[in-house]
Amino acid sequence: MPEATDVLIVGAGPTGLMLAGDLAAAGVSVTVLERRAQESLLTRAFAVHARTLELLDARGVADELVTRGVQIGKLQMIGDAQLDLKRLPSRFPYMLLTPQHETEAVLAKRAVTLGADVRLGAEVTGLRQDTDGVSVSVRRSDGTADTWRARYVVGADGMNSVVRRTLGFPFPGRAALRSVMLADVRLTVPQGMPLANAVREGIAFVSPLGDGWHRVVAWDRAKQLPVEAPLDLEDVRTITRKALGTDFGMHDPRWLSRFQTDERQAPRYRLGRVLLAGDAAHVHSPAGGQGMNTGLQDAANLAWRLAAVVRGRASETLLDGYQTERHPIGRKVIRDSGRMMRLALIHTPVLRTAMNLASRAAAALPPLADRLAAEATGISIAYPAPPGAHPYTGRRAPDLRLAPGAGTPRRLYEALRACRFVLVGRCPEVKGWEERLITVTPAGPQGPALLLVRPDGYVAWAADDHDQDALLAALPQWVGPR
């Protein structure tokens, strides 16, 4: 007999682990199968942006992660200007630099604590879906094989997703930049902030990783070798000296490799009972550090929908909203990070001077600089609202202060830690939804009179007065039948 689970997630990267924790918190039986036999110590992503920290805060793990990294209050723009993040309307007015495995470690601990079954050394080799579920073939690291049966499968198995390829999801796009060099090194002259520059010969980017090491990403126009070609630290030093004037005394590399950046996106994130999330659904240039952040947001958006469907509180059409909301965000990230990379490659002196002037002018105009900072950090992400909806609908819920009370949450994002909808307002008791809905009272007037917040921290519905009838009409639509 195959082993059975409600939701099977393929891949224990950041996307899969976040999703597993959310589903487990919502009472769904969830299993994660991961090809790696041990925890990963690789660091691809290291920038965790403010909106992602807010989502982690809504899961009670942001404060722990923040202690494991370095806070950077500025963001390097294309050109030589910097965006000030200190004015972000967030509890996290900075970018956190911390190695990807630290983020994965806090997410894995949370997922397992909440009851997710995470199996390492389990490689998915194939899957087949029928009307009732999905059968999944697995090869274990000890050489044995077994089969799983799940009601839904989520492919969070990265750029070369077996789930995506097996089911024939297209992945159109292109290779953008070949033979990018990556080195994790020690510096004799450590840097506190990310630095980047482009010259005619190539580009170099140097950033602290938050654990005493530094990441160098470099590209040499004259040395376009296959990704498999061995990389010598001297090649990284040479182009860094040309672009940044010094190699900061880099030495003792712990990781040297080449990679190629692709820009691709699956046109559909769902085929029947199988869904894609994270790098399995979209990949793009690492410029701007958006990949892991976008995958974590995918997971947060998908989890509450999938939980509602699996638990019989919503029809499968609720899953369509995942595509409607997250696909355009993925497309925008591909477009913006690609544009950023192409601008970074400009080396003509006149164009570079023009770009530097433009970026300095933008950084000096507070309304524009704040908008750019909100975009770069995910704070301004909003989802489409139906015509006539309250202006707050689809927007990120602000972290409202709540009325004090014994054992009650002090902030909205603490209330969201229960992974349920949160109704903020001074309203008569709403009975019959307690298992899926928490009601909290704001500390004084802040925003609309009634605010219904989804488990992923976005506003589902709002009203400027205490219209009980409108509220009772909205709740079944979002939270499910009473």
Ligand X SMILES: Cc1cc2nc3c(=O)[nH]c(=O)nc-3n(C[C@H](O)[C@H](O)[C@H](O)COP(=O)(O)OP(=O)(O)OC[C@H]3O[C@@H](n4cnc5c(N)ncnc54)[C@H](O)[C@@H]3O)c2cc1C
Binding site for ligand X (CB under 6 A): 10-16, 33-36, 44-47, 100, 123-124, 156-158, 162, 182, 217, 259, 278-279, 286, 289-293, 295
Report CA torsion sign: 87, 88, 91, 96: negative
- Minimum Å gap between C-beta 114 and ligand X is 18
Looking at the Cβ atoms of 116 and 459, the one nearer to ligand X is 116
- Minimum Å gap between C-beta 371 and ligand X is 21
Task: Name which of 159, 139, 126 is nearest 264 in CA terms.
Answer: 159
Looking at the Cβ atoms of 259 and 313, the one nearer to ligand X is 259
237: three-class secondary structure by DSSP: helix
Looking at the Cβ atoms of 124 and 329, the one nearer to ligand X is 124
Residues contacting residue 381 through CB under 8 Å, at least 6 positions apart: 51, 297, 329, 396
Distance CA 146, CA 105 (A): 27
- What is the distance in angstroms between the CA of the first residue and the CA of the last residue of the chain? 37
Identify the DSSP state of 416.
G
- Minimum Å gap between C-beta 102 and ligand X is 12
Task: Name which of 137, 132, 163, 161 is nearest 148 in CA terms.
Answer: 137
Residues contacting residue 120 through CB under 8 Å, at least 6 positions apart: 12, 34, 36, 37, 38, 39, 141
Looking at the Cβ atoms of 36 and 311, the one nearer to ligand X is 36
- Minimum Å gap between C-beta 253 and ligand X is 14
Looking at the Cβ atoms of 277 and 319, the one nearer to ligand X is 277
- Minimum Å gap between C-beta 255 and ligand X is 10
Q: How distant is the alpha carbon of residue 281 from its chain centre?
A: 12
- Minimum Å gap between C-beta 389 and ligand X is 30
Phi, psi of 193 (to 5 degrees): -135, 150
Looking at the Cβ atoms of 19 and 355, the one nearer to ligand X is 19
Distance CA 447, CA 425 (A): 10
Looking at the Cβ atoms of 157 and 480, the one nearer to ligand X is 157
Token duo for residue 7: 């939701």
Token duo for residue 381: 């992400």
- Minimum Å gap between C-beta 452 and ligand X is 29
